[in-house]
Structure 1
Amino acid sequence: MTAPASAPPLLLPLSRRPQAPHAPHAVLVHPGGGGLSPYTPLAVRLARRGGVSGIRARGLFTGERPDTAIDAMTERYLPLLAGLPRRPDLLVGWSMGGVLAWELGARLAATGPAPAVVMIDSFTRRDEFRTAAQRDDVVGRIMRSVHARVAHRDQPWAEATAHAHVTASGRHRVTSAHPGPALLMACASPHRRTQVERWTRLSARLRTRELDCGHFDVFGRKALPAVLAHLDEFLTGQRNRTAEPLGGQR
């Protein structure tokens, strides 16, 4: 089913500032729930270095059907990146968005320079999404964080999309290796050690930083300064390693 004409495109510009032809370009990939609103502070920070775009999910508007598999989302989003002014050098995502950023980065690396990937508390697998009660709890948290201000008329679409994404996350297993530079910010949880170990097996260039907050608190007033500081440190380190654009070396 195609999206109605009134629905915005999946790939959205988040930085309106004119960019030089060779300026770097970052893409923010939606978390579970499909919206981009939590990423506002990231978009503002990344706009200082170049262009910024965001990918929203299908399912948020009347007539759209949400994807229920990470692979389906990856296949849908990969062609969108070809329409950007230049190949993205940085992919960023929180939670499921980080998984999508990783999978897209691995696909891009197969055809050209490997982009950098930043994952904010993402997991290679979500074994804890086993029961209906666990999935419903996560959906409720997504609705309070990603869709906190959604209009009442859009509530059913947002909730259906959140359910679809929790299902997708529970089924997916990341097995793709990524040759580019990567950063994982891992929140405080009993799963953090395993989380880091699993990502480390897939990347020789992975850096990890810890966040002293819960998964749904990463963009809160207390945790956000640390998130932005880790992002700045990572990007500065990449610039210092090469005179080429970020991700320009394999």
Structure 2
Amino acid sequence: MLKVTENDRLIPLVRKGSRPSYVLLPGAGGGLAYYLRMAGFLGKTGNVYGIRAAGLVAGEEPENRLSDMADSALRTLDDAGIEPSLIVGWSMGGVIGWEVCQRLAERGVQPALVLLDTSPFPFVGDAEFTDWLLGKIGGQLGPSPDEESAARLKGVLLGQLSALAENNVDRPYAGRVLLVTCAEPADAREQNLAAWRKLAPDLREHTVDVDHYSVAKPENFLALSDPLASFLAH
């Protein structure tokens, strides 16, 4: 039975009886709104859950290490009694998903994993980029967010960027992996592909003609539906 506490980070998106469990992990900002169309698609065959980032709710502290993010995501699943058969992560969420899968593999469980334009390499952004990204993600809070919500979102984002600066995926994962990459920039795409091919022996690849910040948007989901359906079917 699913156990969800009042302040749990686990968000049930689609749940209908006893079916495979699919888990969605967000990118920068830690929200799940852009996953709703994907959740509806995945919900045709499984129960779908999202795990929001720590720190978005009053009383929570944001995390600033990828290992801590993976550990807390796995604890959230364990507390709810969920053993996922599929994990989907966009950008940083894919790195967290990779780490969660590593921990599950140590238990003898190998979920299928979908990486949406995820890099295995460190990322360091300057202050100008941080301000730009905060403005872009801040739109999730609506046109006039309250100061406390905006401050919590900023704290989460700063912790995430700190974590990404130390990102270095170097442990292989033997489970099934679908890597969706964006067409541009081509040099970064090829670099990421080369690294993931070494790390994931059972890798499928698909490229979409949208940019990194648009790949998870609901209006672009049609570009993901066919590769996702094919991946789920095999």
Asked if residue 151 in structure 1 is aligned to residue 150 in structure 2, the reply is no
Question: 1:67-78 residue pairs with structure 2 within 5 A?
Answer: 67-78=63-74
The aligned counterpart of 1:167 is: 162
Question: 1:22-101 residue pairs with structure 2 within 5 A?
Answer: 23-101=19-97
Question: 1:118-197 residue pairs with structure 2 within 5 A?
Answer: 118-127=114-123, 129-144=124-139, 146-147=140-141, 151-153=145-147, 154-190=149-185, 191-197=188-194
- 1:56-99: CA deviation from partner (whole Å, max 9, x where unpaired): 11111222210011111111121222234541110011111111
TM-score, scaled to structure 1: 0.83
| Unmatched tracts of structure 1, length 5 or more | 1-5, 239-250
CA distance in 1, matches of 2:72, 2:157: 18
Q: Report the alpha carbon displacement of residue 203 of structure 1 after superposing the two structures with TM.
A: 0.9
CA distance in 2, matches of 1:103, 1:40: 24
Specify whether residues 150 and 66 from structure 1 end up closer, same or farther in structure 2 by C-alpha distance, changes over 3 A only: farther
| Unmatched tracts of structure 2, length 5 or more | none
TM-score, scaled to structure 2: 0.89
Aligned residues of 1:143 and 1:162 also touching (Cα < 8 A)? no
Asked if residue 232 in structure 1 is aligned to residue 226 in structure 2, the reply is no
- 1:4-29: CA deviation from partner (whole Å, max 9, x where unpaired): xx973111211132x23xx2110111
CA distance in 1, matches of 2:136, 2:169: 23
Between Structure 1 and Structure 2, how many residues are aligned? 227
The alignment's C-alpha RMSD in Å is 2.0
- Which residue identity does 1:9 align to in structure 2? D
CA distance in 2, matches of 1:76, 1:26: 17
CA distance in 2, matches of 1:36, 1:226: 19
